[in-house]
Amino acid sequence: MHNTPKISSAAVATIAALLLAAPALADHGRTPSWGPGQLVLTGGGCPIETLDAKSLMFASARDGGKGGLDIWVIDRDEVGGVWSDPKNLPEPVNSTSADFCPSPNDRTLYFVSSEANPGACGDSDIYYSRQSPAGDWSEPVHMACAPNGPNTPGAERSPSLVETPYGTFLFYSTNEGVAGVKDDIYVAFMQHDGTFSRGFRVDALSTDDYHDQMPTVRQRGRWFEITFNSDRPGTAKNPAFGGQDAYLARGRFLPFWWTSPKNAGPNVNTEANETRASLSADTERLYVGRGDIYVSERE
């Protein structure tokens, strides 16, 4: 991992206040256009490329797993190459509980599990596991419960780590377990001791009346791009296509200011639910889960 600054716990409250007061960021860039979606794999969801673009991790309940929903991976030699057959991620990452929403970052894998261990905070929580040079995975580490960490009594989804010159941030979605509240986009801050703060709602990306879920953040030049799925209604200038759609917004100084989210358009979205929209590390490919996994190329 890069040697990026970490935020003191004393600064978290100040940052949170700035986050809540952040205005919408004017976007003078062109909204990305995406090519037609191409089928990558039948039977899977929560897709995301590894940073080297040679593997695709996803969640599936297909035969051959540890039990229920597991994390799987397919590999290829190069971009545009043929994908291998799916392989179940080795123990101890997968368990007999639901394990999903993988987010690889160098040799650290963030993911979500519903495993009911003594430290679990609620419905499903964020964990991480580290991979050795030999390819073995460490015993997953459970991230702390709020207010000491990002996990809540609700269901956390799609942890996405992003390192910047001014801090390291973990984006994810949750409703914090509050009855009647929709899922929103949250961010936690890496502190001086390497742990993460509790999560703070990112108002620029969230709505009160609709589900905003499963973010992935990537850097593109001087900007950062975030993709996520939402069932928010469309407008004449920003139409929606039904169910959960893939959306994209851009930011400069994370995690505060983001442009207004834009629908990814009809080549990506359909009347079905598009979930866990994720960009490749070079931001040239956009993956979505729709019962099967599809990818669109940036035009």
Cα–Cα distances in angstroms (integers) from residue 151 to residues 17, 143, 157, 280, 292, in the given order: 20, 7, 10, 26, 28
Q: pLDDT confidence of 62, banded at 50, 70, 90?
A: very high
Q: How many domains does the chain have?
A: 1
Domain span at residue 131 reads 9-297
Task: State the average pLDDT over residues 199-219.
Answer: 96
Q: What is the largest CA-CA distance in the chain?
A: 53
| Residue 180 covered by a domain | yes
| Residue 2 covered by a domain | no
Query: pLDDT tens-digit profile of 221-254?
Result: 989 999 999 999 999 999 999 999 999 999 988 8
Please enumerate in sequence order all residues whose Cβ is within 8 A of that of 155, keeping only pairs 6 or more positions apart, or say none. Answer: 112, 122, 123, 124, 174, 175, 177, 183
| Residue 278 covered by a domain | yes
| Residue 3 covered by a domain | no
Query: Which tokens hold the place of 205?
Result: 């990306």
Residue type, 95: S
| Residue 1 covered by a domain | no
How big is the chain by its Cα radius of gyration, in Å?
A: 18
| Residues above pLDDT 70, as percent of the chain | 90
Residue type, 86: P
pLDDT for 127 beyond 70: yes
Cβ proximity of 173 and 151 under 8 Å: no
Give the span between the Cα atoms of 97 and 246, in whole angstroms: 28
CATH assignment at residue 126: 2.115.10.20
Predicted TM-score (pTM) of the model is 0.91
What's CA 10's distance to the chain center, in Å? Answer: 27
pLDDT for 152 beyond 70: yes
| Residue 133 covered by a domain | yes
pLDDT for 41 beyond 60: yes
Query: Which tokens hold the place of 87?
Result: 């392989």
| Neighbouring-strand partners of residue 161 | 170
| Pick from 92, 94, 90: nearest CA to 113 | 94
pLDDT for 104 beyond 60: yes
Residue type, 110: Y
